[in-house]
Structure 1
Amino acid sequence: MRTTQQFSITLPNEMADIVKSKVAAGEYATESEVIRDGLRALIARDRAVDSWLQQTVGPAYDALKADPARAVSVDQVRATLAAEHKKAIAKV
């Protein structure tokens, strides 16, 4: 039984050039390997986002729902971000 499927895809010229340049540079043996690696990266990113949503966002939402007093106003967020930005600029 075959474990692969053949696809015909169409890419914008810029993306096709990137795929070809990866093969020409010796980073990959074939165009298919470039596409497979890109799909692996996409799968990894999707898993990371799902994990973040489940482990960080969901519990934070649940905690806020259970205790709405924990909420931070938009003005408080802006003030905190402005202070962090000032610190970062001062370090440079």
Structure 2
Amino acid sequence: MTILNISLPELIQAFVAQQVDKGGYGTVNEYILDLLCQEKAKAEQIESLLLEGLDSGEPLEVTDDWWEHKRSSLIQQFQSEQ
């Protein structure tokens, strides 16, 4: 495992210490590692969803006119549900 040293302002250090205690982490390292793993998982999920979107069908050109039509359509749909 590689060692990474970081400097934190006192307020952030206090916050991290609180989170370690609240979260039941044994050390600050465990807390930071968990945060980074969560962020990595989110990034992987976003990439997976983007790839799924790219493979979902024929591409369409999104222009200003397309957005205006989409916006108008959604407004009409919302108003009809009221």
Deviations 1:38-69 (A, max 9, x none): 1101110110111011111x125x6125xx6x
State the distance in 2 between where 1:34 and 1:45 align: 17
Pick from 52, 57, 60 the counterpart of residue 55 of structure 1. 52
State the distance in 2 between where 1:21 and 1:54 align: 38
Distance 1:53 1:5, change over 3 A: same
Superposition pairs of residues 8-23 of structure 1, within 5 angstroms: 8-23=5-20
Work out the number of aligned pairs and report it: 80
Distance 1:26 1:47, change over 3 A: closer
Corresponding letter in the other structure for 2:35: G
Determine helix, strand or coil for the equivalent of 2:5: coil
Which residues of structure 2 form unaligned runs of 5+? none
RMSD: 2.9
State the distance in 2 between where 1:15 and 1:81 align: 43
TM-score (norm: length of structure 2): 0.70
| Identity within the alignment, % | 22
Superposition pairs of residues 11-50 of structure 1, within 5 angstroms: 11-25=8-22, 27-50=24-47
State the distance in 1 between where 2:59 and 2:40 align: 30
Which residues of structure 1 form unaligned runs of 5+? none
TM-score (norm: length of structure 1): 0.64
